[in-house]
């Protein structure tokens, strides 16, 4: 069983959980994710890994309350156990020393970006990180990001912190200022789509990490199908990272809503 050893409410909607998972802590690499299930009637949901401590045998997950399952997970307290936790899943990020890397994270997408930023820095890159949030309160992991980045730019929708504006505005400023060799973007699908359009214009190789619907996470169900360069891929085993310029984001966003009305029914049932 995977015991929760630390919990922190980042905001009303976002919770940090540190969970015992010694094998995953040891095996995980930047880019990997896990599947979590809460309760005997629980659903299997994919979650990103924000970090791991091999000595303590723990992994850190940052969870946004979205549907029934994430709410149930966030309702757990220190000492409680996550019913099932399996991983690490997916292919790790391919990290090389390429020069200057632009790392762009939005919302809770900042969480899985953290190990990638660390990885790029360790590999000897200059790392410029752009973080976006709706407002100051929803911004996460700023200090950790600063520790591993050469520069951090903060963008908020309402200007309550950092610069006011969209993530792409912060990115474009950097791109116009200096040569960027590689870019990675993790966040809401719509954000990744616009990040990708921007870097395509400047011909900067860009990876996006997708958060598709999954059941097993090992290539069995095919719920996470995504079209990349006109071909069908499975996010769980072929990804979760793909060449952003080749992802069919519109289809991807449509597929994220594939169970929308059924999920709403579950939510209504949950709140009753």
Answer for which of 27, 75, 78, 123 binds another protein (CB under 8 A) is: 27
How would DSSP label each residue in 156-213? ESSSSSSEES-HHHHHHHHHHHS---EEEEES-HHHHHHHHHHHHHTT--EEEE----
Residue number with CB closer to another protein (106 or 217): 217
Tell me if 5 contacts another protein by CB under 8 A.
no
Q: How far is the C-alpha of 262 from the C-alpha of 267, rounded, in Å? A: 9
Least Å distance, CB 257 to another protein, is 7
Q: How far is the C-alpha of 137 from the C-alpha of 127, rounded, in Å? A: 24
Least Å distance, CB 128 to another protein, is 30
What's the Cα-to-Cα distance from 46 to each of 107, 118, 238, 248, 272, rounded to whole Å?
A: 16, 22, 15, 21, 25
Residue number with CB closer to another protein (44 or 65): 44
**Sequence-distant (≥ 6) Cβ neighbours of residue 65 within 8 angstroms:** 13, 14, 15, 71, 74
Interface mask toward another protein for 222-251; x: CB under 8 A: xx-xxx-xxxx----x-------------x
Least Å distance, CB 39 to another protein, is 7
Q: How far is the C-alpha of 244 from the C-alpha of 219, rounded, in Å? A: 21
Angle in degrees, 0-180, between the axes of helices 167-177 and 189-201, rounded to the nearest 10: 20
Residue number with CB closer to another protein (47 or 154): 47
Site residues for another protein, 52-91, by CB under 8 A, read 68-69, 72, 83-89
Answer for which of 39, 57, 188, 205 binds another protein (CB under 8 A) is: 39
Least Å distance, CB 58 to another protein, is 15
Residue number with CB closer to another protein (33 or 120): 33
Least Å distance, CB 57 to another protein, is 13
Residue number with CB closer to another protein (98 or 223): 223
Tell me if 194 contacts another protein by CB under 8 A.
no
Least Å distance, CB 73 to another protein, is 11
**Do residues 82 and 19 touch, judged by C-beta distance below 8 A?**
yes
**Do residues 244 and 208 touch, judged by C-beta distance below 8 A?**
yes
From the list 182, 33, 16, 191, the residue with the least C-alpha distance to 95 is: 182
Please tell me the count of residues contacting another protein according to CB under 8 A. Answer: 47
Residues engaged in binding another protein (CB under 8 A): 23-24, 27, 37, 39, 41-44, 68-69, 72, 83-89, 215-216, 218-223, 225-227, 229-232, 237, 251, 254-255, 257-259, 262-263, 265-266, 269-270
């Amino acid at each position: 069983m995977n015991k929760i050893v630390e919990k922190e409410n980042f905001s009303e909607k976002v919770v940090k959980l540190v969970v015992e998972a010694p094998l995953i802590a040891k095996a995980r690499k930047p880019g990997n994710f896990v599947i979590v299930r809460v309760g005997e009637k629980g659903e299997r949901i994919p979650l990103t890994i924000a970090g791991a401590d091999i000595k303590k045998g723990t992994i850190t997950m940052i969870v946004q309350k979205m549907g029934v399952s994430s709410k149930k997970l966030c309702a757990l307290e220190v000492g409680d156990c996550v019913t099932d936790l399996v991983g690490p899943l997916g292919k790790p990020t391919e990290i090389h020393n390429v020069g200057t890397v632009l790392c762009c994270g939005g919302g809770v997408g900042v969480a899985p970006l953290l190990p990638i930023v660390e990885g790029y820095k360790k590999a000897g890159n200059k790392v410029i990180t752009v973080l976006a949030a709706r407002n100051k309160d929803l911004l996460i992991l700023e200090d950790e990001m600063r520790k591993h980045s050469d520069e951090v730019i903060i963008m908020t929708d309402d200007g309550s912190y950092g610069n006011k504006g969209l993530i792409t505005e912060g990115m474009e400023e950097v791109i116009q200022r200096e040569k960027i060799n590689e870019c990675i973007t993790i966040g809401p699908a719509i954000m990744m789509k616009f990040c990708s359009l921007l870097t395509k214009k400047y011909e900067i190789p860009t990876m996006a990490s997708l958060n598709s619907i999954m059941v097993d996470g090992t290539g069995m169900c095919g719920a996470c199908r995504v079209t990349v360069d006109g071909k069908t891929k499975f996010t769980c085993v072929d990804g979760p990272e793909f060449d952003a310029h080749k992802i069919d984001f519109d289809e991807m966003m449509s597929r994220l809503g594939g169970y929308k009305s059924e999920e709403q029914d579950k939510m209504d049932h949950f709140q009753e």
